């Protein structure tokens, strides 16, 4: 099992660490959930980019997104120069390689091996999976799908990284994952909301530590993502 201790890993998200006692607990699994377009991918990329750039901590981005150009383009808009980080093995993007509907379990097992090797080779400390929800497209039977998501995310806990699992929800304020499994696997649950024109963030749970219990606004601009820890949004204002 991943070690969850008092030592903290800086999130790299402006304004967030003061809401969560200095950062994510070292070795924890963090579920980042939200509806479409709430900023999950930007959050995940920022966590790795800032970790690589400022903390010198290697990070691996595991994506189910077919088109890697979207990610690169996003980072370009923010003016990030990721080439040197990639060249020095501080940042890697890996596209999850699932390609047939048959034998998904075996494919997942193979992918876990590839990921474990990448983590070892680059001395990876930070991991992002974007998204666990997309794993669902490969299996129609609900029980098997839950089992697959469980197997995959649970295995990642053994890799010794501080991991963000991204889950896409329908966007309602009490939705935290697509399969109802990810929040139990996770030590920390953070939700992002977009109630036009306001974006907000809520720390739903953090095992064994104190955290802000209110909803806080955040912004996304060309400067990236920024949480406003001093400002609050009423829970009732969310849908």
Give yes or no for residue 41 binding Mg ion (CB under 5 A): yes
Which span (40-48, 68-76, 138-146, 185-193) binds Mg ion, by CB under 5 A?
Answer: 40-48
Q: Least distance to Mg ion from the beta carbon of 40, Å?
A: 5
Which span (12-20, 39-47, 120-128, 186-194) binds Mg ion, by CB under 5 A?
Answer: 39-47
Give yes or no for residue 77 binding ligand ATP (CB under 6 A): yes
User: Which CB, 26 or 98, lies closer to Mg ion?
Assistant: 98
Q: Least distance to ligand ATP from the beta carbon of 118, Å?
A: 22
Residues in contact with 86: Cβ distance below 8 Å, sequence separation at least 6, in sequence order: 92
Q: Least distance to Mg ion from the beta carbon of 199, Å?
A: 14
User: Which CB, 155 or 220, lies closer to ligand ATP?
Assistant: 220
Residues in contact with 191: Cβ distance below 8 Å, sequence separation at least 6, in sequence order: 32, 33, 34, 173, 176, 201, 202, 204
The backbone torsions φ and ψ at residue 69, rounded to the nearest 5 degrees and listed phi first, read -60, -35
Site string for ligand ATP, 123-162 (x = CB under 6 A): ----------------------------------------
Do residues 79 and 222 lie in contact, with contact meaning Cβ atoms separated by under 8 Å?
A: yes
In whole angstroms, what is the distance from residue 198 CA to residue 204 CA? 19
User: Which CB, 40 or 199, lies closer to Mg ion?
Assistant: 40
First to last CA, the chain: 36
77 binds, among Mg ion, ligand ATP, none (CB under 5 to 8 A by kind): ligand ATP
Q: Least distance to Mg ion from the beta carbon of 234, Å?
A: 27
In whole angstroms, what is the distance from residue 225 CA to residue 203 CA? 16
DSSP secondary structure string for all residues of 160-216: -SEEEEEEE----TT---SSS-HHHH-SEEEEEEEETTEEEEEEEEETTS----SBE
Residues 23-42 close enough to bind ligand ATP by CB under 6 A: 34, 36-42
Q: Which residues would be at the binding site for Mg ion (CB under 5 A)?
A: 40-41
Q: Which residues would be at the binding site for ligand ATP (CB under 6 A)?
A: 34, 36-42, 77, 168, 220-222
């Amino acid at each position: 099992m991943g070690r969850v201790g008092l030592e903290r890993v800086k999130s790299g998200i402006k304004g967030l660490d003061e809401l969560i006692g200095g950062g994510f607990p070292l070795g924890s699994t963090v579920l980042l959930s939200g509806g479409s377009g709430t900023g999950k991918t930007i959050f995940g990329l920022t966590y790795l980019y800032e970790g690589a750039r400022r903390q010198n901590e290697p990070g691996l981005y595991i994506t189910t997104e077919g088109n890697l150009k979207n990610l690169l383009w996003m980072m370009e808009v923010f003016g990030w120069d990721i080439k040197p980080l990639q060249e020095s093995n501080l940042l890697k993007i890996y596209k999850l390689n699932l390609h047939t509907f048959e034998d998904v379990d075996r494919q997942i097992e193979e992918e876990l091996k590839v990921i474990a090797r990448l983590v070892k080779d680059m001395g990876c400390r930070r991991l992002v999976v974007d998204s666990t929800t997309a794993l669902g497209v490969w299996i129609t039977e609900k029980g098997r799908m839950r089992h697959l998501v469980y197997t995959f995310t649970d295995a990642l806990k053994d890799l010794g990284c501080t991991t963000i699992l991204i889950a896409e929800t329908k966007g309602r304020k009490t939705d935290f994952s697509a399969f109802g499994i990810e929040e139990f696997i996770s030590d920390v649950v953070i939700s992002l909301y977009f109630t036009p024109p306001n974006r907000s963030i809520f720390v739903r749970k953090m095992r064994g530590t104190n955290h802000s219990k209110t909803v806080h606004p955040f912004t996304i601009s060309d400067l990236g993502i920024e949480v406003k820890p001093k400002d609050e949004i009423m829970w009732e204002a969310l849908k």
